[in-house]
Every structure is written in C-alpha cells, then in structure tokens.
Structure 1
Amino acid sequence: MKTVEDNGRATTKERARLDAESIIEAGLRIASQPGMATVSVRDLGAMLDAAPTAIYRHFRSKEGLMQALLDRLIAMCLARVTAPREQWRERLTQLSTATLDVFVMYPAVGLEAIVFSTEGPAELDTVELMLDAYAQTGLEGDELVRHYGALSTYVLSYASGIARAHSLSSTIQPEQSTPWWGRTLPVTAASHPQISALREELTALTDREIYFMGINELMDAAERAGARARERAAAGQA
C-alpha cells in the first residue's frame, strides 16, 4: 500500500513507483484542496517528490495531464449512473447530478471541462450513454445529435462554471449551493422596477436550482421532439 508522509510528500516507496496512475491520484488530491484553481506540474512534483521532467515522461504536456485527470472525473460520473437502460430520463439525471457533484469535489479539474475534450474512454462512453438515452425518445439522425449537443454543452459548461466558483473560494464546501446571482442589486423601483420588485427572488436563486431546471427543460424538449418524430414515422407508414 502507498504511504504518504503527513506533509503530503511521497515516501521513498511511492517515489519508486511513480507512474501515470500515481500522478493522476496525486493530481486529484491537489484538485480537491479548497481554493485550488489549477493543478500545476510544480505542485505535483512537490507532492510526489519528483522533478517536472519525471511527470512529462508519462504525460507529454500539461494539456495531456489535464485530459487524463478530466477523463478520470468523467469515469467517476459514469459509475454513479445506476438506473436501467430503459429509464433514459433517470439515467441522464443521474449523469448530470454526478457531473456537478464530482466537478465541485475536484474543482481545479472540473473547471477545465468546457475547454478540453479528453479523447479518453470515459468521455466516449458518456457520449454513447447520452445518445442512446435520447434515441429511446424516438429521436434519430441530425435531430438526435442536436439535442444531445445541447444537453452535453449545457451540463459541461454550467457544471464547470460552478466548479470554478468553488475553486476560487477556500470556504465553500462541495455540498454547498452557490448563489446564482452572487452580487448586490443596487437599483431602485424608479430605475429598474422589475429587478427591484423581484430582488429577493433573484438573490435567493442557487446555481444548483437553475442547473437542474435547465436540464429538465432540455430533456422535456427532447422528449417532445421524439414524440413528434414517432408520429411522423407512423404517418409515413400508414
């Protein structure tokens, strides 16, 4: 079993086993630290007691390292999808929930999701799951791809944005909801009557609330489009 000294630096036993897996594990430990906005090769070297050149022997670039870390997070998300295949909506809900929860657990990696395509097996498995889920509504071809693209982009962009908010704070806990507005509203009824009237409602909104509202709306739209596609197919066969 690997042992790590109290100061977070690797022991001689761990140094001798430096490989891609140990680097990924160390990267995730760094990414989970409060207020950590990036996983640097310097921090990895310090934690593993290794020179940056040793890191780059396993990952050709910083981008390659971040892709590997992000694909590991995506694999964690997939592992939380337990609903049976025929329950397509529940599977997409579980995947979306896991994406947000895992990204805020490892915000320094999660915030990169909208920037990087991992090109890894977990990402491809996620694409397959989402396409298969929407295909069960009756969607196919270009229409299926468009609805998949809308949901995928929404989940990744919003979850990575929330992860970024967590990465910038050393006090927000992963399970905490962040405010959607997050700033004061210095307006009056005369200058901005709608904002003034809805001030309490606006400031009470949380990111998680809006996140799941958007996901439900996108799934509703896909379900309606799938129903129309089935109707057109039935009419064509009549």
Structure 2
Amino acid sequence: MATAGDAARRRDAGSSSGRARLDRDTIIAAGLELAAGSGTASISVRELGTHLGADPTAIYRHFRSKEHLMQALLDELTARSLAEVTADPADWKERLRQLAAATLAQYVIYPAVGAEAIVLTTHGPGELDAIEFMLQAFAEAGLSGDDLVRHYALLATHVLSSAAGIARGRGERDPENGAGPWFEGPILADPRKYPLITEYNTQLTDLEDVALFTLGVEAVIQSAERAAAARPGGGG
C-alpha cells in the first residue's frame, strides 16, 4: 500500500521535471496535507491543484467531482482509524472504544475532511471494513438480527456525527486535540422564563465535547450489553 511519503516523493520527482505526476495516492496525500492546515475548515480543488503544482482540471482525471475526491479522503481517514485498533477481537467493547477514539482523533487532525462525515457516504473499502468491524463487534457481544443492526447504526451515527461536529468546530478555530466547550460562554436567559437553564447554567457551560462523545459511545456499549443479556440464553 502506498504511503503519504511515497506519494510526496512521486510528486517531487514530477515537479523537478517541470510537470507534476498525478495519481490517486498523490492527490489523496496532498489533500490530507491541506486538510491538516491550521484553522482549515474546507479545501478546494483549486487550492489542491496549486498545492500539487498542477492545473486543477488534472485532478478531475482521477476524481469525477469534488464530492468524489472528498469521499476518497474520508475513506482514507476511516482506514487509518481502523488501523489504530489493537484490542483482541474477543474484547468487543475495547475494540469499539478504540475505533471511536481513533476516528475522532483523525477527524480533529484533518477537520476539513472529518466535517464531511455528516453528509458523505464513501462506499469505499475503508467504510466497508468499518461496517464489517462494528457488526462483528456487536455479534461478539451476543447480538444478532435487528438488535445487532440497530446497535451498529446507533454507534455509527453517534461517532460520525459527533466526531464531524467536533472536527468542524476545530476547523473553524485553530485545531487542537484537547476538549472544547459544548456551549461558547454562559447561556444568557431570563430566569423567569427559563428557570431550569438558570439553575443548571454552570453545569451546562462546563460540558465538554470530547467527554460527551465518549459518554455516547459508552451508552451504546451498555445498551448492547443489556440487549444481549435479555436474549434467550443471555447472561445476567
């Protein structure tokens, strides 16, 4: 499998001869380089062409549209996230936790790509591997049928949407790996009309996005445990 370093070397070799040599791996590596830029909320094909030292139209020889390009970039992040999972296959809970954490980390590093997970389905090998991975984990938990599929969907929806939202927030500011506030500053509300907001204002403004992301992952895992235990022959 080609690496980002391999793609960069091919790009440099092409540039030295006065013409950038483009292929899918080179374009994906360059796209991720742009997406990792400080405060980068989005990337354009024109910017990517400039970064590659090539006419932007050359990119469309390998990707039929900007959406197709973003799907390939997002699929690469999914594959990288899966590669970070090291837990034993029997430890389904830790495997799901590791995948969720790795996905969030990748989206935060590349916010311009991670934010696209809200609206894009890649249909690529990374996505298919991730779906199979999660289905296998919930099967290992003791689920099958509708219970298995629903818990996969719950986890996938939470991880993708929450991680993408956190990535978007990082992309609009200077990207960072630390937690961010759920609310920006105190909530200003009339205590006569919003007594509960007033009562819990401090707790609400103390909420952090990464902690809530982790809490959601744990909630799905706990739900899977309860569903497995409730099945005929289940434990507990």
TM-score normalised by structure 1 residue count: 0.89
Contact map agreement 1:107 1:166 (CA 8 A) in 2: yes
Percent identity, aligned pairs only?
48
Residue of structure 2 in register with 1:72 after alignment: 76
- In structure 2, do the counterparts of structure 1 residues 150 and 13 end up closer, same or farther at CA, with 3 Å as the change threshold? farther
Superposition deviation, residue 3 in structure 1: 6.0
Mapping of 1:210-229 within 5 angstroms? 210-229=212-231
Superposition deviation, residue 187 in structure 1: 2.3
Identify unmatched segments of 5+ residues in structure 2: 1-5
Residues 39-79 of structure 1 deviation map (CA, whole Å, 9 limit, x = unaligned): 21000110011112210011111111011100110011001
Contact map agreement 2:35 2:43 (CA 8 A) in 1: yes
Alignment match of 1:54 (pick from 40, 43, 58): 58
- Indicate yes or no: 2:92 matched with 1:88: yes
Mapping of 1:12-23 within 5 angstroms? 12=16, 15-23=19-27
Q: Within 2, Cα distance between the matches of 1:175 and 1:206?
A: 13
Superposition deviation, residue 30 in structure 1: 0.7
Contact map agreement 2:24 2:62 (CA 8 A) in 1: yes
Residue of structure 1 in register with 2:169 after alignment: 165
Contact map agreement 2:186 2:201 (CA 8 A) in 1: no
Contact map agreement 1:41 1:55 (CA 8 A) in 2: yes
Partner SS, residue 113 of structure 1: helix
Contact map agreement 2:138 2:224 (CA 8 A) in 1: yes
Contact map agreement 1:101 1:174 (CA 8 A) in 2: no
- Indicate yes or no: 2:149 matched with 1:136: no
Residue of structure 2 in register with 1:28 after alignment: 32
- Indicate yes or no: 2:130 matched with 1:122: no
Aligned residues: 228
Residue of structure 1 in register with 2:3 after alignment: none
- Indicate yes or no: 2:92 matched with 1:102: no
Contact map agreement 1:104 1:174 (CA 8 A) in 2: yes
Q: Within 2, Cα distance between the matches of 1:13 and 1:94?
A: 43
Superposition deviation, residue 142 in structure 1: 1.6
